[in-house]
Amino acid sequence: MFKFKAFRAIDEPGRCEKFVKGHADVLKQYGVTKVTSSNNDWILNPFVYVVTVELEDTGEVVSGLRIHIAHPDYPLPMEMAVSQVDHKIFDLVKGYSIKGTGEVSGLWNSKSISGYGVGAVLLIRAGIAIVTQLKLGSLLALVAEYTLKPSLQKGFEIEEGIGNSGTFFYPKLDLVATSIVMKDPDGLPNADPNERKIIQDLRNNLQCVKTEVGPKGEFLVEYDLLLLNPDWRKDV
């Protein structure tokens, strides 16, 4: 069984360390040894929230993502990455920050669980599901080609205001990344109706056990998406 756990980074240093190790191992497997979003300073950032996926029997973290909330003292990973080629990213984030915005970052999936649909499907759903607790007006991301389609199905749209109509070569010149934005993470008006229903169901049942279905068949998932410290604004 997979266990999904949502938490504020500074509250769970042990889980963060497992996230860092797993993410680094996956990046190495793909030949990426240096990437802005893999900077580990986020562990001490009070404006970062994390969702990890653990194997119940071993406690190993095999997948995860982070949500970085925009703050003047803590630039978003995509601000640091995109600013190398397009400085408009700063004004873009500043505009979205008026109503509170965050970035989905550091999404990774161990090859040992490939084929289940955990990372590109279930994990993105979980990340979107916790956004209502954070009361964010929008959500940003810089995604690889393989996560673009599932992200659009869940209510994101391409943010064409930066880069080449939203696309970049990152983190290597032979890899294409696309900037995307979700402008109404509460209502999810652009999401596929089935995806919207699944995400809303998760929001209504933040702590539950569900049978999920992926390419490899059915499997159990225990969700614990209730954030103990969701009020990031008190630290602004």
Measure the CA–CA gap between 1 and 58, rounded to whole angstroms: 10
How far are the Cα atoms of 5, 71, 107, 171, 227 from residue 51, in angstroms, in the given order? 5, 20, 10, 23, 10
Q: Which residue has the tokens 């991301």?
A: 141
Q: Is the pTM of this model over 0.85?
A: yes
pLDDT tens per residue, range 111-138: 888 878 787 789 999 999 999 999 999 9
Query: Which H/E stretch holds residue 15?
Result: helix 13-29
pLDDT tens per residue, range 72-102: 999 999 998 888 888 899 999 999 999 999 9
